Chains A and B, each alone.
Chain A
Amino acid sequence: MSTPARVVVRNYTGQLVGMTAWLLQRVTGLLLLFYLFLHVETIHQLSAGQAAFDQQLAFYGTPFFKLLEIGLLATVILHAFNGIRLTVLDLGIAHGRQRKLFWVLVMGAGTALFIAGAVPIFIFSVLQR
Chain B
Amino acid sequence: MNYTVSIQRSRQGGKAAWKSYALEAAEEMTVLDALFAIRQQQDATLAFRCSCRVGMCGTCAIRINGVARLACKTRLSALKSQQVTLTALPHFPVVRDLAVALDPFFEQWRRIRPRFRPQNPEASELARIPAGSDYSRLTSGKRDCITCGACFAACSIPGMNKRYLGPAAINRALLRILDPRDAAHQQRLDSVNDLHAGVWRCHTQFSCGAVCPKGINLTHSITLLKRGVVGNQAESNA
Q: Which residues of A contact B (CB under 8 A)?
A: 1-4, 6-8, 10-11, 15-19, 21-22, 86, 89-90, 92, 95-96, 98-99
- B207 pairs with A2, CB closer than 8 A: no
- Asked if B210 is an interface residue, CB under 8 A from chain A, the answer is yes
A-B contact pairs, 20 of them (CB 8 A): A1-B6, A1-B85, A7-B65, A7-B81, A8-B66, A10-B80, A16-B154, A16-B207, A16-B210, A17-B206, A18-B206, A18-B219, A22-B204, A92-B220, A92-B223, A95-B219, A95-B220, A95-B223, A96-B220, A98-B206
**7 closest Cβ contacts across the A-B interface?**
A18-B206, A1-B18, A95-B220, A3-B66, A1-B6, A22-B205, A19-B205
The chain A residue with its CB closest to the CB of B220 is A95
Known contacts A3-B66, A4-B81, A90-B223, then 15 further A-B pairs from the complex at CB < 8 Å, ordered by chain A residue? A1-B6, A3-B83, A7-B81, A10-B80, A15-B211, A18-B204, A18-B206, A19-B205, A19-B207, A21-B205, A86-B204, A89-B223, A92-B224, A95-B219, A96-B217
A-facing residues in B94-111 (Cβ within 8 Å): none
Instruction: Report Cα–Cα, A18/B218, bound state, in Å.
Output: 13
- Asked if B203 is an interface residue, CB under 8 A from chain A, the answer is yes
Q: Which residues of B contact A (CB under 8 A)?
A: 6, 8, 18, 20, 65-67, 79-81, 83, 85, 154, 156, 203-207, 210-211, 217, 219-220, 223-224, 226-227
The chain B residue with its CB closest to the CB of A2 is B85
Q: How far is the CB of A82 from chain B (nearest CB, A)?
A: 11
Interface-central residue, B67, B219, B224, B227, by most chain A CB under 10 Å = B67
- B66 pairs with A7, CB closer than 8 A: yes
Residues of B within 8 A of A16 (CB): 67, 154, 206-207, 210
Residues of B within 8 A of A19 (CB): 156, 205-207
Instruction: Report Cα–Cα, A10/B65, bound state, in Å.
Output: 11
Instruction: Report Cα–Cα, A59/B14, bound state, in Å.
Output: 56
Residues of A within 8 A of B227 (CB): 92
Q: How far is the CB of B198 from chain A (nearest CB, A)?
A: 16
- B83 pairs with A15, CB closer than 8 A: no
Interface-central residue, B8, B18, B65, B224, by most chain A CB under 10 Å = B65
Q: How far is the CB of A87 from chain B (nearest CB, A)?
A: 10
Instruction: Report Cα–Cα, A95/B206, bound state, in Å.
Output: 9
